[in-house]
Chain A
């Protein structure tokens, strides 16, 4: 029983990290209607910035995290400006942006491979790892609880930003129709940059926790595939869907790892994706894709 509760807590914690990544990805999808596969790159960039500012810069964890968040956000904006802006300004075909994003993801990953090498690096022990007893029924690691709490804080923050601020309103408007938002006087380029900044920032938090949980290496971004799957399960482009999908996926993964075999984790993820697409192709919260004809 206690091991079940422990796995559930672990699952929720992992799921909340996925949620941070998936929400950013869904945000970009809802505005630009393409799958930004370079999203994993932002996560890795954040991870490495955090690593190097801790190790070489001698910064404490707060400064390092802040640097990582800003760095990843800015590089996300830069990627959008360099790779996607020229495409979206010329053609409405989102396939081109999707291909460019896939290219960008490979480029970011391999820039790290050729410059600092592909070896695994452990983040210095700045995130508490000791075992914590939860209400006397289960024990889990402090980092799991910390990531759960941080994720909730940032997701609530994002929700407030989207619902209470002017720019949040503009982003929500753009997710219905970017063109109309543009016609209403919203600076579309600035808005898209902002969306990418937020997405990069959220990905960086995920990156820091993932590199603390596993370790840091250039291919860490591949893990975003799971966040993509989570976003599909929840419904592409839906933010609540992304969160719920992530939690489901995190739980399924940890329960599979705990009670079956850790080798089945990835197969479970893939299986869940296929089942979702068979049973409910638009995901849990997805609107059916109605197109203006």
Chain B
């Protein structure tokens, strides 16, 4: 693995931790938030100050960063989560801003808007992945316990939940505190990864990214959240050259997922044997669908077609090699825009992806039209029969 890939893996792990925190709060407790980057900022600054000013070793500093964010989340949660979630959501809009203002203006401690340089690079890939693994297991266990059921009950029907003996506002605050801890740890790790932190790193865009991941992965599914992190982080890496569209894409993800498939990638299901079986049976059902058959045909046609229309320099490599480029492109190991001789493979791979997508969508639409025509015919026939 190259440095770049290791970097991506570390970043993925860091993002995963924060996304798990947001998933607990938004997915399992049902309260939308746009301020969780603020908790990351608190974690990042706490651990940075502890390490640089007080010489605390990095491990306890990371934990302290998490605890500081947790404490702060608890304080914010107490007044705002007494009633239904809308109040917290509005507060969360101001929260990130308020935290940023405090950090920018408290220069003696935080060094203000210019940022805090010279943080030791303690977040190596194993550290980040290790933290992620431990925290992910903890989160899965928490969901599969009294607490998980309580959170879901408060989310689904807080009146019924309170009549089953749950103090719903306390559970909401508790969920926020835990999610604050996860975001704080994530922020501390990010500080150690970047070696430099700045208030703008924890702006609204970061908060939006986190909730987009959770919504995309599926509200109420931890494995969906992990997959959402994987896919959205890689996609944003892939489309780095057109990063001005990044926010637009996040926004569209939120709207489209809600309109088309509010349950997200995974719904409330967890990745496991059952969901695998379900996916297989759904795939089987898909092969009986005309539109889907045409789409599949489109992909199969798209590969050789795109291959044939490549410049000769690309066709010099074998089809197998050509296909194998896709994962390397996906992982960002090769970047766009490099000189041709280096980037033959990724360009080719991109061409494959695009050609497949075009062919598939054309074919899919064609299949859909055929199905529609058939349906109209059927209804006509039925009408004649009457």
Give me the interface of A with B, judged by CB distance under 8 Å.
Answer: 34-35, 37, 82-83, 86-87, 90-91, 93, 95-100, 102-107, 109-111, 113-114, 222, 225, 228-229, 232, 236, 263, 266-267, 269-270, 273-274, 277-278, 281-282, 289, 291, 293
Residue pairs across A and B with Cβ atoms less than 8 A apart, 26 shown, are: A34-B86, A87-B258, A90-B262, A95-B219, A97-B258, A98-B89, A100-B258, A102-B208, A103-B251, A103-B256, A103-B258, A104-B254, A106-B208, A106-B248, A106-B250, A107-B252, A107-B255, A109-B251, A110-B245, A110-B251, A111-B248, A225-B90, A225-B94, A274-B91, A282-B83, A289-B84
Evaluate whether A281 and B258 lie within 8 angstroms (CB atoms) in the complex, with A103-B251, A111-B248, A114-B248 already known.
Answer: no
CA distance A95 to B204 in the complex (A): 19
Residue among B32, B85, B251, B258 making CB contact with A106, cutoff 8 Å = B251
B68 within 8 A of A: no
Indicate if the CB atoms of B32 and A102 lie closer than 8 Å. Answer: yes
> Is B259 interfacial (CB 8 A cutoff)?
yes
* CB of B101 closer than 8 Å to a CB of A: yes
A232 contacts which of B85, B87, B211 (Cβ < 8 Å)? Answer: B87
Question: Within 8 Å CB of A236, what residues of B?
Answer: 86-87
Nearest CB on B from A202, distance (A): 19
- 12 additional contacts, CB 8 Å, given A113-B244, A273-B94, A289-B83? A34-B86, A86-B259, A95-B30, A100-B254, A106-B247, A106-B254, A107-B252, A113-B247, A114-B248, A267-B98, A274-B79, A281-B79
A229 x B94 contact (CB < 8 A): yes
A267 touches which one: B101, B211, B219, B253 (CB < 8 A)? Answer: B101
Contacts of A103 in B (CB 8 A): 250-256, 258
Q: How far is the CA of A38 from the CA of B253 in the complex (A)?
A: 15
Question: How far apart are the CA atoms of A102 and B247 in the complex, in Å?
Answer: 12
Q: Are A98 and B248 in contact (CB under 8 A)?
A: no
A27 to chain B, nearest CB (A): 15
Closest CB of chain B to A105's CB: distance in Å? 7
- CB pair A274 B80 closer than 8 Å: yes
Q: Does B213 contact A (CB under 8 A)?
A: no
Is A102 in contact with B34, judged by CB distance below 8 angstroms?
Answer: yes
Least Cβ–Cβ distance between A86 and chain B, in angstroms: 5
List, in ascending order, chain A residues with CB within 8 A of B94's CB: 225, 229, 266, 269-270, 273
| Min CB gap B168→A, angstroms | 12
B13-36: CB near A (< 8 Å → 1, else 0) gives 000000000000000001010100
Complex alpha-carbon distance, A96 and B256, angstroms: 11
Does B105 touch A at the CB level, under 8 Å? yes
**Contacting pair B105 A263 (CB below 8 A):** yes
Residues of A with C-beta under 8 A to B87: 232, 236, 277, 281
The size of the chain B interface, using a CB distance under 8 A, is: 43
Quote the shortest CB–CB distance from A101 to chain B (angstroms).
9
Question: Is B95 interfacial (CB-CB < 8 Å)?
Answer: yes
B97 within 8 A of A: yes
Assess the A105–B251 pair: CB atoms within 8 A: yes
C-alpha gap A270/B91 in the complex (Å): 7
Residues of B contacting A95 in the complex (Cβ-Cβ under 8 angstroms): 30, 32, 85, 219
Most-contacted residue by chain A among B32, B34, B84, B215 (CB, 10 A): B32
| Residues B248 and A35 in contact, CB atoms below 8 Å apart | no
Give B242's nearest chain A residue, CB to CB: A114
Residues B60-108 near A (CB distance < 8 A): 76, 79-80, 82-87, 89-91, 93-95, 97-98, 101-102, 105
Mark B241-283 against chain A: 1 for CB-CB distance below 8 A, else 0. Answer: 0001101101111111011001000000000000000000000
Residue B159 is within 8 A (CB to CB) of chain A in the complex: yes
Give the Cβ gap from A118 to chain B, nearest Cβ, in Å.
9
Chain B interface mostly helix, strand, loop or mixed? helix
CA–CA, A104 to B98, complex, Å?
24
Q: How far is it, in angstroms, between the C-alpha of A103 and the C-alpha of B278 when the chains are bound?
A: 30
> Which partner residue on chain A sits nearest B160 by CB separation?
A293
Q: Provide the residues of chain A in CB contact with B98, threshold 8 Å.
A: 266-267, 270
Closest Cβ of chain A: how far from B270's Cβ, in Å?
20
Contact B247 A100 (CB under 8 A): no
Q: Which 8 pairs, one residue from A and one from B, show the smallest C-beta to C-beta distance?
A: A103-B254, A106-B251, A107-B251, A103-B255, A100-B258, A110-B248, A277-B79, A278-B79
CB neighbours (8 Å) of B97 from chain A are: 225, 266, 270
Instruction: Kindly state the separation between the CA atoms of A104 and B259 in the bound complex, as whole angstroms.
Output: 11
Residues on A with C-beta less than 8 A from B248 are 106-107, 110-111, 113-114
Assess the B95–A270 pair: CB atoms within 8 A.
Answer: yes
A8 to chain B, nearest CB (A): 24
Q: Is A109 a contact of B247 with CB atoms below 8 Å?
A: yes
Q: CA–CA, A98 to B247, complex, Å?
A: 18
Say how far B265's CB is from chain A's closest CB, in angstroms: 15
Quote the shortest CB–CB distance from B144 to chain A (angstroms).
23
The answer for the CA separation of A266 and B104 in the assembled complex, in Å, is 13
Nearest-CB distance from B312 to chain A (Å)? Answer: 36
- CB closest residue in chain A, given B99: A270
Bound: A232/B101 CA distance, A: 22
**Of all chain B residues, which has the CB nearest A237?**
B86
B1-56 at interface with A (beta carbon < 8 Å): 30, 32, 34
Can you name the residue of chain B whose Cβ is closest to the Cβ of A118?
B244
Residues of B within 8 A of A291 (CB): 159
Give the residues from 293 to 319 in chain B that come closer than 8 angstroms, CB to CB, to chain A: none
* Complex-state Cα separation, A114 to B247, whole angstroms: 10
Q: Is the CB of A83 within 8 A of B258?
A: yes
Bound CA–CA A35/B102 (angstroms): 27
A266 to B96, CA, bound (A): 11
- In the bound complex, do residue A114 and residue B244 qualify as a contact, i.e. CB atoms below 8 Å apart? yes
A277 and B251 contact, Cβ closer than 8 Å, known pairs A100-B258, A232-B90: no
Chain A residues in 8 Å Cβ range of B247: 106, 109-110, 113
Instruction: State whether B262 touches A91 (Cβ < 8 A).
Output: yes
